[in-house]
Structure 1
């Protein structure tokens, strides 16, 4: 999870939200939405390197639709290709292997996805 400002084009990480058996913690998501009151939510869209869809693509679309349905906030999907690779590289440079826990990697990838979305001028 990350929050950002469209004006500055920057984002900062928030703690990752763990899903239980593929089900997100809707209470945490609701709390974050109340706290941050975003204009829109950007959900990373996992694609193959050639741009084709993969099994996780449908799950990301379903998650985005469920957020919109539950909370009525606008949700957009954004290509997340290589965001995890970039996140791991940056975290490793900062703290070696100790910095590579899944939560930190996921949060850093969320920052990369959101800033990439801003860079494309949306």
Structure 2
């Protein structure tokens, strides 16, 4: 893995190390990943049972990791049109920003779950174990995409 894009994004924040939480939002499971010493790390998946429990779990992750920014994967159709899930995810991201007073950015998450499944198929042969990790690995891919995008923006300025 090439760490250059990740390191460049954090260079400006040497005194204040940023901790970014990435969220792969879903109706059944929500995947979480954070930057840990500049490297995106899959954390866990939250099983969606009730809304308040979800926000309590996210609150714990934010506190434990001293999160300063949140990235939420935006589900778009393959033709880049929006779906009902896109609107639901936008509402979820707005609620994250409102509750935790953190900058929240949406990032296109097309094919991240498929990519996560392919990566896990190499290391985890047990489907049940793999299924439980897909969402957090997808969140990690969303975070990698966000950091690469930020790095490219900074190169252009």
TM-score bracket, shorter-length normalisation: 0.7 to 0.9
Q: CA deviation at 1:97?
A: 4.3
- Alpha-carbon RMSD: 1.7
Q: CA deviation at 1:33?
A: 1.0
Q: CA deviation at 1:96?
A: 2.4
Which of structures 1 and 2 has the bigger CA Rg? Answer: 2
Could you list the per-position Cα deviations for residues 48-83 of structure 1 after superposition, in whole angstroms to 9, with x for gaps in the alignment?
Answer: 011111111011100110011111111110000000
Could you list the per-position Cα deviations for residues 78-114 of structure 1 after superposition, in whole angstroms to 9, with x for gaps in the alignment?
Answer: 000000000000100112243421x300011000000
1:31 and 2:60 correspond: yes
Measure the CA separation in 1 of the matches of 2:130 and 2:64. 28
Measure the CA separation in 2 of the matches of 1:75 and 1:37. 15
- 1:100 equivalent among 130, 133, 148: 130
Residue ranges of structure 2 left out of the alignment (5+ in a row):
1-31, 152-157
Q: Pick the structure with more strand per residue.
A: 2
Give SS of 1:121's match: helix
Give SS of 1:53's match: coil
Q: How does 1:1-122 map to 2 (within 5 A)?
A: 1-4=32-35, 8=38, 10-20=39-49, 23=51, 25-98=54-127, 99-101=129-131, 103-121=132-150
**Structure 1 runs of 4+ with >4 Å offset:** none
Give SS of 2:114's match: helix
